[in-house]
Structures are given as structure tokens and as C-alpha cells.
Amino acid sequence: MEYRRLGQTGLEISTIGLGTNNFGGRMDYDATKKVLNQTMEEGINFIDCANTYGGGKSEEFIGKALGKNRQEMIIATKAGAGLGPPGTPITGPNQRGATRHHIMQQAELSLKRLDTDYIDLFYMHRWDPDTPIEETMRALDDLVHSGKVRYLGCSNYTAWQMVEAIWAARANNLYNYCCIQNEYSLVSRDVEREVAPVSERYGVSVIPFFPLASGFLTGKYAQGEEPPEGTRFASSPNMGNRYLTEANWSLLGKLQSFSGERGHSVAELAFAWLLGSPVVPSVIAGATKPEQVTANAKAAEWQLSAEEMAEIREML
């Protein structure tokens, strides 16, 4: 497993990170522990979570399963979205957002669920238009100074929102964001318009989520056929409509030819291509079985040449 530095920090994270959105929902504790054990076996040290995943169960399972191995792992979690059991709406004031109240409250709850006294990387899950950015950044800075959080990141921000936060922190001499986590894949490349250039300019890493386009790039779907039962697109037709377009099917055919000629799958190409970006140190990939963790780790071994990257760019 290769390790790269996160943003302009000295922190080294594995090129493949483990997404844990399924923990506590689709996966019980025993299944979670098996996946986490395989994660450590593969040398993956970067675990991505959020206070909302599994209604809080994801963090609980991670804390319980890691036990004495916690010091070896880099745990990222998030605040900002409302917390409740899966399918339960959030009601009442102050249950979401980037206020000092919500940030401090959710950080303490995450620490308790993770059974740890510090969070390695703490994200703001999304931009809050109703809270002054200075309030958000000062609250996050206080968490770092208290020792409860070590590094800061943002998720689902636009480029201008990230710059607003960066300059608010600079102007007030506060700890700053070192990374941004947004959707990024071979078929979802909005990041390249503004977020990636801004990230490169300010030394902020891009951590992609949905690198396999919610399964579209794994080959589990067939053009003209209904999504298989149990897949993400079967349960979320609107999400499927985003990806199952004529343009994406055409691109997928080209990507299959490209990767097949080199003895690889499109899924492996999806990881290799993202890791070929100068602003991407790690790619978040979920797994429900240990063998999926192994496959994700193996995919990171493929390093595309400059010529191959250029050829893919022409396809895109």
C-alpha cells in the first residue's frame, strides 16, 4: 500500500480509504468487524465516516472493532448534517448546520461513539449559508487547540465556498482546511472545473467519494436492463437516472476496451485514473465484504503512464 501526504500537512494516508456509510445500516457489527480487519490487513489506514452514517452506529462499530489498533488508524468523521436513525426526519432547532453549538455538540458525540479521545480529521459535511463562516472556522480551530481534533476538512463545498473558508481562517490566524471531499469519478467530473484548480492553488487535497459512480463503473449494470435487485440504482431510481445515460454508456464501452487491453477492469481504471491526479492523495471506497477491500487495495497498484492519462483524457 502506498501512502501520500494530506494537503500541506505531514500526515500520511493510504491511497485507498475505507468508506463506512454501510456500517450500522446494511451491515451489522460482525460484518463490519470483518471488513475492518481486512482493511488493516491490506495496510489501509484511512477510515472515512460521518456522525449520520447508520444513525450513529457506524462510528460505534468502528470504535468497538478497532480497539487497541485505533492508534494505527486515521479516522475521519463529519458534522453538519442532521443526525437521526435511518429514515427518521430531523426535527427541532440546532440539529444541523455549521454553528458553534452544533459543531461542538456533534464532535463530543462522535468522540463518545468512536470510543476515542481525538478525531484525526474532522469535516464540515456541507456548507451552511445561515452561519457566518468565521463562527464555523473559529469553532473548528478551538477543537484543534483542545486536542480533540487534529486536522480539518470540508465536504460538498463549491470552490468559492472553500476559498471563503480559507481566507476567513487566514484573516483570523485559525487552523485551516487541508482537504475537500467531493464526488469525483470518470463520469462525474464537475470537480475539475473549479474545485481542483483552487485546491492545487491553495495546497488542499481532493478526496473523491463515489469513485465508482455508485457502482456504474463496476460492470454490475447492463444497458437496456433493469438494475439488479439489491443494487443502489434499484433502490434509488433517481440516482440511477443520473448515471445511466447514453453518453455514459458510450464512454463505459471505451473504458472497458482500454482497461481490458491492459489486463485490468474498469473499476481498477477508475481508481488508477483518480490517483493520477496531482491533487488526489486517496480515494474513498466502500466495502461490504472483505474481498471487496482486497480488490480496492489491489486497484491502487496500477499506475497509469502520462501517455495513458492523455489517452483517457481524449475519451472524456
DSSP string, 14-53: ESEEEE-TTBTTTB-HHHHHHHHHHHHHTT--EEE--TTG
CA distance 106 to 95: 9
Q: In this predicted structure, what is the pLDDT of residue 50?
A: 96
Q: In this predicted structure, what is the pLDDT of residue 82?
A: 73
Task: Look over the chain and give the mean of its residue pLDDT values, rounded to a whole number.
Answer: 93
Query: Which 3 state secondary structure label does DSSP give 217?
Result: helix
Please give the backbone phi and psi of residue 53, each rounded to the nearest 5 degrees, phi first. -65, 125
- Catalytic residue numbers read 53
CA distance 97 to 99: 6
CA distance 245 to 111: 42
Q: Which of 33, 13, 113 is nearest to 287 (CA)?
A: 33
Checking if the pLDDT of 97 tops 80, the result is: yes
Question: pLDDT tens digit string along 136-187?
Answer: 999 999 999 999 999 999 999 999 999 999 999 999 999 999 999 999 999 9
Helix (H) or strand (E) holding 4: strand 3-5
- The secondary structure of residue 188, as a DSSP letter, is B
Q: In this predicted structure, what is the pLDDT of residue 308?
A: 96
Q: In this predicted structure, what is the pLDDT of residue 94?
A: 81
Question: pLDDT tens digit string along 1-35?
Answer: 999 999 999 999 999 999 999 999 889 999 999 99
Q: Which of 52, 130, 70 is nearest to 98 (CA)?
A: 130
Model confidence at 86, pLDDT cuts 50, 70, 90, reads low
Cβ atoms within 10 Å, residue 156? 18
Please give the backbone phi and psi of residue 231, each rounded to the nearest 5 degrees, phi first. -85, 165
Percentage of the chain exceeding pLDDT 90: 83
Q: Which CATH superfamily is domain 3-214+268-302 in?
A: NADP-dependent oxidoreductase domain (3.20.20.100)
Q: What is the largest CA-CA distance in the chain?
A: 56
Q: Where are the beta strands (DSSP E) in 88-148?
A: 119-124
Q: Which residues contact 251 (CB under 8 A, 6 or more apart)?
A: 186, 187, 315, 316
Checking if the pLDDT of 116 tops 60, the result is: yes
CA–CA–CA angle 273, 279, 282 (5° rounding) = 65
CA distance 255 to 217: 9
Percentage of the chain exceeding pLDDT 70: 96
Q: Where are the beta strands (DSSP E) in 136-235?
A: 149-155, 177-183, 205-209
CA distance 276 to 233: 28
Instruction: Report pTM.
Output: 0.92
Helix (H) or strand (E) holding 13: strand 12-14
Question: pLDDT tens digit string along 206-244?
Answer: 999 999 998 889 888 778 777 777 677 766 767 777 888
Residue 78, beta-bridge partner list: 123
Q: In this predicted structure, what is the pLDDT of residue 83?
A: 66
